[in-house]
Amino acid sequence: MHGVALLGLGNMGSPIYLDNHATTQVDHRVFEVMRPFLIGPTEYGNPSSTGHSYGWFAKESVEVSREQIADLIGAEPKEVVFTSGATESNNLAILGAARAAGKGRIVTIETEHSSVIAAAKALRLEGFHVDILPVEPTGLVDLDRLRSVVNDETVLVSVMAANNEIGTLQPLGEISSICHKVGAMFHTDAAQITGKVDFDVGELGVDIASITAHKMHGPKGVGAMYVRKGRPRVRLAPVIHGGAQERGFRPGTLAPHQIAGLGESARLAKDGLLVGEPKKMASLRDRLLEIVSCAEGVTVNGTMEHRLPNNLNINVSDVDGKALVLALRGVAFSSGSACSSASLKPSKVLTAIGADLSTETASLRFGVGRYTTAEEIESAGQLFVEQVARVRELMRG
């Protein structure tokens, strides 16, 4: 079954939330930072209003957030461009780079987010050559195959830092090196990796990166792009027209309340990395895997070696997937990408890595978050083992 499991029905109360790849709960500290920009008394101005203190205060707050985001990803504040989220950032990176070049080749991989694949396919209609490469069974890009297609006609290579379904961490430094040897730019969708793994755009050689607030306990509807300054110049044609905001890449009135939330979520994510928050998530994830593995027929999709610390994606064989999802209504999880939940098609990521997608197999994605507790992991794991056995018994009739 593909899509998000909407659970916690009837009198069960709130289900245990393990769908943190789809979205995360807004941190209360983020909410408190956002509040004044909505209700004032002096913080609600337009950052572009340069003639009075309301605008000055809003402008200053935007620049503070820009600094916080830059600090998280190893960038300069002037390299941060605000957007509505990673989907817009991905579109601007891919469509903008191609249209600025006017012609050439775009390269990406099968397991990318739908916003990357759709933008790349749209460029085919504009006459660009687009390569969408397969991946290894682990979900990792085949570097030799990548080298074979990236040439001096390549404008941009786009490979996501961490997969949103199976958590695969790509070798970003090696990919950027392949790109730069032929003068191509390297873009990465970093929505899932920020705050979970150290991510330094300078060290990794990234030219453009997409991030979003709601994957790291910030608000929905706001994100940013890292656009490298310096030589060679990163050239992007805007996909929205009508103003000079954000270096001309992304015109439109900025939303200080959302930007303040993004900035605070980035600051907290940086603090979390320093105090070992990812290690805690990995420990909870590994404990969940230990428990669910008590049920027969459980296998991991992807690689545990190169994986987000909060991600677990499993296959369960010899079970009716739809029945199991319904039986696990005490846990909120996903059986595919939230962005594709309206589709009845199998997960393109699991298809790409050759996972078993038969009708008697369930594929489940669990995402640990900042607020996940050890007690919740124990309860969710035990419920899983019990319900797998129950569903199999029902199948045997």
Average pLDDT along the chain, 397 residues, taken 10 residues at a time: 40 83 97 91 81 87 96 97 96 96 97 96 96 97 97 97 97 98 97 97 98 98 96 90 79 91 98 96 98 96 96 95 93 69 68 85 95 98 96 88
Q: What is the pLDDT of residue 102?
A: 95
Q: What is the pLDDT of residue 56?
A: 82
Residue 194: partners with Cβ closer than 8 Å, 6 or more residues away: 72, 73, 211, 215, 216, 266, 269
**In Å, how far from its chain's centre is CA 232?**
27
Distances (CA, A) of 250 to 12, 94, 119, 343: 45, 14, 17, 30
Tokens of 313: 């994606």
Name the residue among 171, 247, 172, 168 with its Cα closest to residue 206: 172
Instruction: List phi, psi (to 5°) of 128.
Output: -85, 150
The domains located in the chain, with CATH, are: 16-21+276-396 (3.90.1150.10), 28-272 (3.40.640.10)
The answer to whether the CB of 211 falls within 8 A of the CB of 82 is no
The answer to whether the CB of 320 falls within 8 A of the CB of 305 is no
Encode burial over 326-364: b for 16+ CB neighbours within 10 A, e otherwise: ebbbbbbbbbbbbebeeeeebbbbbebbebeeeeebbbb
Tell me 260's DSSP state.
H
Q: What is the pLDDT of residue 9?
A: 40
**Cis peptide before 346, with omega less than 30 degrees from 0?**
no
Q: What is the pLDDT of residue 12?
A: 52
3-state class (DSSP) for residue 249: coil
The answer to whether the CB of 334 falls within 8 A of the CB of 22 is yes
Kindly list the catalytic residues: 339
Q: What is the pLDDT of residue 296?
A: 95
Name the residue among 95, 89, 91, 370 with its Cα closest to residue 212: 89
Name the residue among 218, 228, 248 with its Cα closest to residue 188: 228
State pTM to two decimals: 0.92
CB-based contacts of 240-247 (< 8 A; 24+ apart in sequence) = 245/48, 246/81, 246/82, 247/81
Half-sphere exposure of 179 (CA within 13 A, CB side): 26
